Amino acid sequence: MPIEAKRIWEQMLPLLETNMTILSFDVWIKPIEPLDIRDGKLVLMVASEWGKNEVNMRYLPLIKGAMNAVSSLLTDVEIISADQKEKYVSQEETYEIKEVPIEAAEPLSINPKYNFENFVVGKCNQLAVAAARAVAEEPGTRYNPLFIYGGAGLGKTHLMHAIGNSLRASRPRLKVLLVSSEKFVNELVKYIGMEKDGQKFRDKYRSVDVLMVDDIQFISGKPGTMEEIFHTFNELYNSSKQLVFTSDRHPKDIPDIDDRLRSRFEWGFTADVQPPDLETRIAILRKKAQIQKHNINMDVLTYMAECISSNVREMEGLLNKVILLSQLNETKPSIELVKEALNDYSEKEEGEITADDVIDATCKCFNVKRDDLLGKRKTRDIVEPRQICIYVMTEILDLPLATIGNIFGGRDHTTIMYARDKVAQSMSQQKTVDDVNNVKNMVYKK
Ligand code: ADP
Ligand code: MG
The mean pLDDT value for 24-44 works out to: 88
The whole-number pLDDT of residue 386 equals 97
The mean pLDDT value for 358-362 works out to: 95
* 202 and 335 both lie in a single domain: no
Residue 323 covered by a domain: yes
Instruction: From 15, 147, 148, 154, give the residue whose CB has the most ligand 1 atoms within 8 Å, as the site to mutate.
Output: 154
Cα(423) to centroid of ligand 1, in Å? 27
Residue 55 covered by a domain: yes
Instruction: From 113, 121, 301, 313, give the residue whose CB has the most ligand 1 atoms within 8 Å, as the site to mutate.
Output: 313
Cα(156) to centroid of ligand 1, in Å? 7
* 133 and 264 both lie in a single domain: yes
The whole-number pLDDT of residue 97 equals 37
Give the closest residue (by CA) to ligand 1 atom 9.
Answer: 155
Query: For the range 59-64, what are the long-range contacts, defined as Cβ-Cβ under 8 Å and sequence gap of 24 or more?
Result: 59/16, 59/20, 59/28, 59/29, 62/16, 62/19, 62/20, 63/12, 63/16
pLDDT higher than 90, residue 150: yes
Q: Give helix 380-396 / helix 355-366 axis angle, nearest 10°.
A: 140
* 249 and 384 both lie in a single domain: no
Give the closest residue (by CA) to ligand 1 atom 25.
Answer: 119
Of 221, 210, 208, give the one whose Cα is nearest residue 257. 221
pTM: 0.60
Residue 192 covered by a domain: yes
Cα(112) to centroid of ligand 1, in Å? 14
Residue where one domain finishes, among candidates 273, 294, 311: 273
Residue 437 covered by a domain: yes
Cα(319) to centroid of ligand 2, in Å? 20
Cα(316) to centroid of ligand 2, in Å? 15
Give yes or no for a cis peptide into 145 (omega within 30° of 0). Answer: yes
> Could you tell me the strand order of the sheet in which 33-38 lies?
33-38, 41-46, 76-81
* Residue 106 confidence class, pLDDT cut points 50, 70, 90: very low
What whole-number distance in Å separates Cα of residue 383 and Cα of residue 361? 16
Nearest ligand 1 atom to alpha carbon 118: 25
The whole-number pLDDT of residue 320 equals 87
pLDDT higher than 80, residue 104: no
* Residue 172 confidence class, pLDDT cut points 50, 70, 90: confident
pLDDT higher than 50, residue 36: yes
The CATH number assigned to the domain holding 339 equals 1.10.8.60
The ligand whose atoms approach the alpha carbon of 116 most closely is 1
Residue 208 covered by a domain: yes
Instruction: From 247, 281, 312, 319, give the residue whose CB has the most ligand 1 atoms within 8 Å, as the site to mutate.
Output: 312
* Residue 287 confidence class, pLDDT cut points 50, 70, 90: very high
* 60 and 195 both lie in a single domain: no
Cα–Cα distances in angstroms (integers) from residue 210 to residues 136, 204, 205, 263, 425, in the given order: 10, 12, 10, 20, 41
* 335 and 374 both lie in a single domain: no
* 344 and 362 both lie in a single domain: no
pLDDT higher than 50, residue 180: yes
The mean pLDDT value for 159-183 works out to: 91
The ligand whose atoms approach the alpha carbon of 122 most closely is 1
Of 265, 256, 245, 180, give the one whose Cα is nearest residue 220. 256
Indicate the SS3 state at residue 214: strand
Sequence-distant (6+) residues with CB within 8 A of 69 are: 12, 15, 116, 117
* 265 and 290 both lie in a single domain: no
Residue 101 covered by a domain: no
Cα(133) to centroid of ligand 2, in Å? 18
The whole-number pLDDT of residue 87 equals 73
The ligand whose atoms approach the alpha carbon of 126 most closely is 1
Least confident of 114-118, 140-144, 254-258, 373-377: 254-258
Nearest ligand 1 atom to alpha carbon 215: 2
The CATH number assigned to the domain holding 27 equals 3.30.300.180
pLDDT higher than 60, residue 346: no
The mean pLDDT value for 278-305 works out to: 93
Measured between its terminal Cα atoms, the distance across the chain in Å is 67
Cα(242) to centroid of ligand 2, in Å? 19
Least confident of 129-133, 203-207, 242-246, 386-390: 203-207
Residue where one domain finishes, among candidates 273, 308, 330: 273
Of 111, 105, 42, give the one whose Cα is nearest residue 73. 42
Residue where one domain finishes, among candidates 299, 316, 348: 348
Range of the domain at 418: 355-444
* 170 and 261 both lie in a single domain: yes
* 164 and 247 both lie in a single domain: yes
The ligand whose atoms approach the alpha carbon of 318 most closely is 1
Least confident of 286-300, 347-361, 378-392, 415-429: 347-361
**Contact predicate 343/407, CB 8 Å:** no
Cα(311) to centroid of ligand 2, in Å? 12
Residue 142 covered by a domain: yes
Rg for the chain (alpha carbons), in Å? 26
* 159 and 253 both lie in a single domain: yes
* 235 and 131 both lie in a single domain: yes
Give the closest residue (by CA) to ligand 1 atom 11.
Answer: 313
The CATH number assigned to the domain holding 405 equals 1.10.1750.10
H/E stretch holding 257 = none
* Residue 103 confidence class, pLDDT cut points 50, 70, 90: very low
The CATH number assigned to the domain holding 216 equals 3.40.50.300
Identify the residues whose C-beta falls under 6 Å from ligand 1.
114, 119-120, 125, 152-158, 284, 287, 312-313, 316
Residue 145 covered by a domain: yes
**Contact predicate 144/268, CB 8 Å:** yes
* 403 and 426 both lie in a single domain: yes
The structural domain count of the chain equals 4
Give the closest residue (by CA) to ligand 1 atom 23.
Answer: 120
